[in-house]
Every structure is written in structure tokens, then in C-alpha cells.
Amino acid sequence: MSKKCKKNGNSNSTLTKYARLNYWSQVDTRPVPAWLKKYKVGSGSFFYDRERISYSIISKDFKPRLPGFVGFPEGHLFISEEVPKDYRKSMLIHEWLEFTQFAGQKGRCVKALTRELDFAPKGAERMAYLKYRKLFFERLIEFYRDSNEVSDEFKTEIQGSYELLKKMTAQLEIEDLPAECLGGYSLAEFDKLDVFARRKIILGEQ
């Protein structure tokens, strides 16, 4: 690596770590960490941006107990066996990007979520997927609410993704409604209202 590619001569720079992760994704000869190995029940891989990325499938008995969990500790990507197969790739892409391409960036979790949703189910399955992920982030926020094991910055990151998912699910719930559900507003006026204000009208809360 040339000097201009190094950060203050530090071999542990983000660029160097990313290069290592790219290598691992293609070769992946690293042993599964001992603390994780006992929970491994399978493995898999997927292609993203012309790279083959490998991951482990972990038993639902893994602690902490967060249904639908996914992680990337020590450069080893894993996901819970409980996650539906159709959801795995999109969720793993989120985790991969958040801690490689978007590592160290403010708003990295939301950026990864936005990219994740490009690969998530579409059509009739879209709402189910959004609700699944929203519930996961809701539980994650609650799990770490009073914890000192993670930074406030991390808590802000996951809160941002939860808020985006909450807004998106609310938006889908109010699409394609008949005019009588719009509380007397024209379609143009109704569309300018905040998504949560629109939902209150539809539910008859105001």
C-alpha cells in the first residue's frame, strides 16, 4: 500500500480494515470465534457488488436473546436461524455495509438500512418485512436503553433506523385510501400533512 493510502502511518486505519474485510469475504478461512462457534448451526453466502460474502447461521438460543438478530463481531458475519430465508440477504447487506463501507460515518445505520431496503421483499411482502425490522430495532433499543456496554452514538444510530421504519410502515398503511377516509381534505392537501397526522385522521383519532 502506498504512503498516500495510509492514515498517519496507522496500519489499523479504516481503509486497511475494509481491505481486510473484502479479503475475508472472498476467502473466509478464519475460524469462527470460540464464543460463537457453539451456537453455529449452518453457513451460507451471497453475492453483493460482485463479491461473495460468507456468513454463519446461529442458533436462536444465542444470547442476548433478540429474535431476528444479526451481527458482525470480529469481522465474522452471522444471522439468526429464525430469520426467514427471504429476509437474510437484505439484513446481512445492512450489517456488512454499516461496518465496512459506512464505518465511522454519522447516520451509518440509516444509510445501511436504505441500501438494505433495495434488496428487501417488494409488493405484498413489503409491509411484513418493514414490520419485522421495525420490531427488531424496537427490541434492540429497549435492550440497550440503560446499558453502558454501547455508546450513546450507537443508541442514536439504531434509533434513527427505528424512526425511519416507523415512518415507512405508517406511510404504507395510508396509501390507496378512498376519499372518504381523508377527513375532508383534498388528495393534494392530505398528502402535504405529516404522515402521523394523516394516520390519526384515518384512524379517527381527530
Task: Return the pLDDT at 30.
Answer: 60
In the chain (206 residues long), the average pLDDT of successive 10-residue segments reads: 44 45 46 84 93 93 83 90 96 96 95 97 93 95 91 96 94 68 72 77 68
Residue 66's pLDDT is 84
Question: What integer pLDDT is reported at residue 20 of this predicted model?
Answer: 46
Is the torsion defined by CA of 159, 162, 168, 174 positive or negative? negative
| C-alpha torsion angle, residues 59, 65, 67, 69 (rounded to 10) | -70
pLDDT at 201: 77
Instruction: Kindly tell me the sign of the dihedral angle through the C-alpha atoms of 175, 177, 179, 180.
Output: negative
pLDDT at 176: 57
Q: With the C-alpha atoms ordered 136, 36, 150, 9, is the resulting torsion angle positive or negative?
A: negative
Residue type for position 62:
F
Which element (helix H / strand E) includes 48?
Answer: strand 40-48
Respond yes or no on whether the N-terminal peptide bond of residue 84 is cis (omega within 30° of 0): no
Q: What pLDDT was estimated at residue 61?
A: 87
CB proximity list for 41: less than 8 A, separation 6 or greater: 57, 58, 59, 81
Helices (DSSP H) in the chain: which residue ranges?
A: 14-27, 34-37, 85-98, 108-116, 126-144, 152-173, 187-192, 195-202
Q: What pLDDT score does 94 carry? A: 97
Quick one: DSSP state of residue 76?
A: -
**What's the pLDDT score for residue 187?**
65
